[in-house]
Structure 1
């Protein structure tokens, strides 16, 4: 840049100097012609000149005085035949004038460039007339070319000096700009910047994790492919405010607030995301926040399955513990000689357990849901809550995703058991499972305190809970699973909370009536609005 600036300014100065030299020479030559002509005419019209023609002692002092005052190089007063009466060099007086006088003898004033005793000069020749207009003598005034050239060189020197000053200023400016640019690019040159950009762009497109950079005004400055996929964004979102991206309210609020967060879980329509937010800055200047997103959906689903399996194991341990207590009771009764009471006690417990198993297995022929209901029934019983399978429950294999069904039913039952325990005894939860040709219906009702309309509207938002601990992912996961299956959720009271889930079967779809506003009680969430 410095070399380029120097070349540009140098060429500009050289061109300007040549142009100025050419124009200055022409202008000074014209000025010299005009000045010489004016001086010659003034001298020729002077009465003392006409009166003193032929007398050098009178004319020479006058001519020299005028020459010095006007700045011309010579004033020559001569006879019509060209004999000099005056000359800057007195030895040339009486000599013959070197130049053309023909036009002046005809009464015309003219200018010419001619080489005389003082060298090349620009001169004017004009006649001296008497009162009758007769030419009585001639006057020539001139300026030497050397003097004109000297003035031209003086002006060119000024142009060159200005050009050099411009060159110095341009060079200094270029140096300062280059220094600032190097400071802003951390000393990296074009090749290094290009290579860094290529690496930066390749990494952003290659990593699966989502990366967002949001400035202090809440606008997106960078969004990689991973973030677009995880958040369901389309097109270029640079410069778009985070509230205009269609993100869940909790996630949008987090990005706008600029709070630092580590491994915070947020739910979108179909994904569970682990979000990290960190402040970024360059020196003392804040650059906003950097947001990283990791897909936690599969892990959350597997965690749900693991929790279900742990629930089954806990239920089996509880059942084993209860069976051991009952067995000890039977053995003690036998040892006490009360055999009939021991038999009656043993058969009644076996009969009750078998009835529950027969009821569940007979009504629910979906193995995963049947096992889940048996495990949840044992777990609820251990907590003092009666889990009832409604008489209208009738379900065969419906072909829906087992993990989503376990997520929906398991979390609804867990939530209902917690609510029932907070209500007035006896604590009770009723589960109903039905399917027709197009729709699978899950209904879970509890005897708890129920949900008010405002609370119902918040029930499927990430982090909502009635327990006040801020966790509340269960219902959010239910809403997410229902959304994935294209279903709808109704939330009502009767008298406790009643959650009703409608899921379209693979070979059918939800009927328009099941999604109409009239069919959904207050607090319902139709398809597409489950977690909005």
Structure 2
């Protein structure tokens, strides 16, 4: 099996096991070398000590000058060798002729090794291959009983321990070292296995190549997806946010890791992100954007990890929807007027057939005058065609609903503001005014005006006023009227209720303007309800 296809945990375990085996092997080898050096040093010291003891023994000093040195020295040397645990004790003449040897056949032969320093009166040690094989040996001079006189070396003593004996003594230590190394290796391997097992759980058994590919795909998807994606931990902290989410919420890149309550988001949106509750297509406002929020718990093997939140930008869609509603209202108005025109035409034709042409002319011109007056006034005073179409459409819609939409002072130049923002502002204010007027007893009336006036800075501003004959607005609710979710109308299970005035407020503030609401009470024009005033700098 190709090791490159192993899981990351398995690769890590294999590398750690191999590394530990190498480390333990090197440590055991180093310990063996140190133990062997210590054993050789101990063998040299023991051989030197025994050699000194033998060289200073009276029996040896007297025996080396006897007529038959071997007769007295051989039994003594063998007893010392057996008692000291050395491999040979050789007493010889200053010229190197053996008086004693563990092998009696070698007595009288020449000693194999260096003796020159000892013959000159200096003790020394060396490792040399003699008749018994390689050995660690010490050579010590034997001085005459009158040792005070220099140069009186009457014999030499060599005591040695073979390397084979040193190795036998070291074998026990080697077994101990190997056992300790095996125990250490087993303990480290067990720790590595536990670590790899934990890593396997955390990486779900994936290999390094798979993790690399997953990360690359994950990062590519996060940057490429056109929806905002957030992951909020169980503690309410932002764990992940893609580029689109940061853009939609107006957050900096360092927002990840902070609590959702500290991100500076609107209270409703911050609560929606931090509570971790499941949400479906909730509409929220963030800055100048309208966002659709969906949230679902992130669960892995029955364990909740946090909450996955997706964000979709519906700002442009709602603006286009407002324009579409205006056009649709105008189309419906034109369709209704077409039916009414057909009815009026039949009436005019019938009056002519009945021989009453004067009444037919009066009837036709009276109906056309009112409609033409409204159209001429709006088209002549409103330079923005989209806003003019909106006002005409809302006037027809109001007439169908039994509300009298009366244009007040109108003076709107072209390109005064973004047409979509004008539709958002005026359209939502008129919709709310029509609903408010319908909730009050007749006469039902809405008055709209839009004029240019000088501002305090020497420039001009556009003042849009929408007043209705509805029940008015409680002063306590005036400050909350432009908050997302606030509405005087029942929800009825609809998603997005209470967003119209919030959109108005954001559109006005985006242009640096102001919007206010008041309930002045009964007025001469029959609009005692709420009065909304918008001021937009030109």
Q: State the TM-score, normalizing by the size of structure 2.
A: 0.74
Alpha carbons 2:475, 2:519 under 8 Å: kept: no
CA contact (8 A) 1:105 1:127 kept: no
Distance in 2 between the 1:311 and 1:162 partners?
A: 92
1:388–1:431 CA contact under 8 A, matched in 2: yes
CA distance 1:307–1:126, shift in 2 (3 Å) = same
1:192 to 210, 216, 233: 210
Q: Give the direction of change, closer, same or farther, for the CA distance of 1:319–1:80 in structure 2 (3 Å limit).
A: closer
In the alignment, structure 1 residue 435 sits paired with structure 2 residue 452: yes
Residue in 1 that maps onto 2:354: none
| In structure 2, distance between residues paired with 1:363 and 1:99 | 130
Displacement of 1:215? 2.4
Answer with 164-173 or 218-227: which moved more: 164-173
- Mark the CA change 1:421 to 1:59 in structure 2 (over 3 Å): closer, same or farther: same
Instruction: Name 1:127's counterpart in structure 2.
Output: 142
| Structure 1 residue 142: Cα displacement | 1.9
- Aligned equivalents of 2:410, 2:124: Cα separation in 1: 129
Matched, 1:501 2:527: no
1:33/1:245 CA distance change after superposition, 3 Å: same
2:159 maps to: 141
1:71 corresponds to 2:85: yes
2:497 to 447, 455, 471: 471
1:304: how far off?
1.9
- C-alpha contact 2:137 2:161 (8 A) present in aligned 1: yes
Check if 1:219 corresponds to 2:261.
Answer: no
Partner of 1:524: none
Secondary structure in structure 1 of the residue aligned to 2:297: strand
Residue-by-residue CA offset, 1:446-496 (whole Å, 9 max, x unaligned):
344544565333222222212242711211222233345443323344244
Tell me if 1:36 matches 2:47.
Answer: yes
* 1:494–1:329 Cα change, 3 Å: farther
> Cα deviations across residues 336-371 of structure 1 (Å, max 9, x unaligned)?
xxx999999999887766766666566556554444
Aligned equivalents of 2:130, 2:383: Cα separation in 1: 132
Question: Residue in 1 aligned with 2:295?
Answer: 277
Cα offset, 1:255, TM superposition: 0.8
Matches within 5 A, 1:444-483: 444-448=466-470, 450-451=472-473, 455-469=477-491, 471-483=497-509
Query: For 1:455 and 1:379, how far apart are their aligned partners in 2?
Result: 28
Could you give the per-residue CA deviations for residues 132-162 of structure 1, whole angstroms, max 9, x where no partner exists? Answer: 6476655432212322244456555655565
Unpaired stretches in structure 2, ≥5 consecutive residues: 1-10, 352-356, 454-458, 522-528
How many Å separate the matches in 1 of 2:125 and 2:372? 139
Task: Find the counterpart in structure 1 of residue 306 from structure 2.
Answer: 288
TM-score normalised by structure 1 residue count:
0.75
CA-CA distance at 1:402 after TM superposition: 3.4
Please list, as runs of the form range in 1=range in 2, the aligned pairs for 1:305-454 lying within 5 A after superposition: 305-312=323-330, 364=382, 367-377=385-395, 379-380=397-398, 385-390=403-408, 392-421=409-438, 427-436=444-453, 438-448=460-470, 450-451=472-473
Of stretches 132-141 and 209-218 in structure 1, the one that deviates more from structure 2 is 132-141
8 Å CA contact retained: 2:35, 2:170: yes
Report 1:39-54 matches (<5 A). Answer: 39-46=50-57
Q: Distance in 1 between matches of 2:534 and 2:301?
A: 53
User: Quick one: which of 267, 272, 286 aligns to 2:285?
Assistant: 267
Q: Is 1:487 matched with 2:479?
A: no
After superposition, where does 1:44-193 map in structure 2 within 5 Å?
44-46=55-57, 63-77=77-91, 86-89=100-103, 103-104=117-118, 107-124=121-138, 125-127=140-142, 129-130=144-145, 133=148, 138-152=156-170, 155=173, 159=177, 181=199, 183-193=201-211
Cα distance change on mapping 1:120 and 1:355 into 2, 3 Å: closer
Number of the residue aligned with 2:524:
none
Deviates more, 1:233-242 or 1:196-205: 233-242
